[in-house]
Amino acid sequence: MSAAGAAVSMRDIVVCYAGADRRAVDDVSLDVAAGEFVVLLGPSGCGKSTLLRTINRLVVPAAGTIALDGRDARDQTPEALRRGIGYVIQAVGLFGHLSVGRNVAIVPELLGWERDRIAARVDELLALVRLEPARYRDRMPRELSGGEQQRVGVARALAAEPRVLLMDEPFGAVDAIVRTALQDETLRIHRALGTTILFVTHDVDEALRLADRIVVMNAGKIVQADVPLRVLAKPASDYVAELMDAKDAVRRLQLLRARDAMAPPGAPTKGRIDAERSLREALSQLLEGSDRLSVVEGERECGTLGFEDVRGAIAATER
Amino acid sequence: MAYLLRHPGEVALRTLQHLEIVAIAIGIALALALPLGVLAARSARVRGPLLVLLNAIYTLPSLAVLAFLVTYFGLGLVTTEIALVAYAQMVLVRNISVGLLGVPAAMREAALGLGMTPLQSLLRVEFPQALPVIVAGLRLATVATISIATLAGKIDAGGLGALLFAGLDNDDPNRIVAGSLAAATLAIGADLALRGCERLAVSRTR
- Phi/psi of residue B24, nearest 5 degrees: -60, -45
What pLDDT sits at residue B163? 87
Query: Where do the structural domains in chain A lie, given as residue ranges?
Result: 35-52+76-243, 251-316
CB contact under 8 A, B115 and A95: no
| Alpha carbon A201 to chain centroid, angstroms | 9
User: Is residue B123 less than 8 Å (CB to CB) from chain A?
Assistant: no
Has residue A41 got a pLDDT over 80?
A: yes
B64-95 confidence digits (pLDDT tens) = 888 889 999 989 899 999 999 999 999 999 99
Chain B: give the shortest CA distance to residue A79, in Å.
Answer: 4
- Phi/psi of residue B111, nearest 5 degrees: -60, -45
Q: Which residues of A touch B206 (CB under 8 A)?
A: 96, 142
CB contact under 8 A, B120 and A81: no
Q: Tell me the whole-structure pTM to 2 decimals.
A: 0.86
Indicate the burial class of A5 (C-beta count within 10 angstroms; 0-12, 13-18, 19 or more): buried
Ramachandran sector of residue B75 (left: φ over 0; alpha: ψ -120 to 50; beta: rest): beta
CATH architecture of A35-52+76-243: 3-Layer(aba) Sandwich (3.40)
Q: Which superfamily is assigned to B2-205 in CATH? A: MetI-like (1.10.3720.10)
Q: Which residues of B touch A80 (CB under 8 A)?
A: 115
Check residue A17 and report its DSSP letter: -
Could you tell me the pLDDT band of residue B206, with boundaries at 50, 70 and 90? low
Picking from A80, A93, A106, the nearest residue to B109 by CB comes out as A93
Has residue B204 got a pLDDT over 80?
A: no
A104-145 confidence digits (pLDDT tens) = 999 999 999 999 999 999 999 999 999 999 999 999 999 999
Query: Where do the structural domains in chain B lie, given as residue ranges?
Result: 2-205
| ipTM passes above 0.85 | no
User: Is residue B9 less than 8 Å (CB to CB) from chain A?
Assistant: no
Pairwise pLDDT comparison (B176 vs B28), residue with the higher score: B28
CB contact under 8 A, A157 and B114: yes
Given CATH 3.90.1280.20, say whether it is the number of domain A251-316. Answer: yes
Picking from A58, A94, A97, the nearest residue to B128 by CB comes out as A97
Do B1 and B175 contact (CB within 8 A), yes or no?
no
Q: Which helix (H) or strand (E) holds A83?
A: helix A78-83
Do A75 and A128 contact (CB within 8 A), yes or no?
no
Check residue A262 and report its DSSP letter: P
Contacts of A159 (CB under 8 A, 6+ apart): A104, A105, A106, A107, A108, A121, A122, A125
What is the mean pLDDT of the segment spanning A209-213? 95
Picking from A92, A97, A156, the nearest residue to B106 by CB comes out as A92
Q: Which residues of A touch B205 (CB under 8 A)?
A: 96-97
What is the mean pLDDT of the segment spanning A281-299? 90
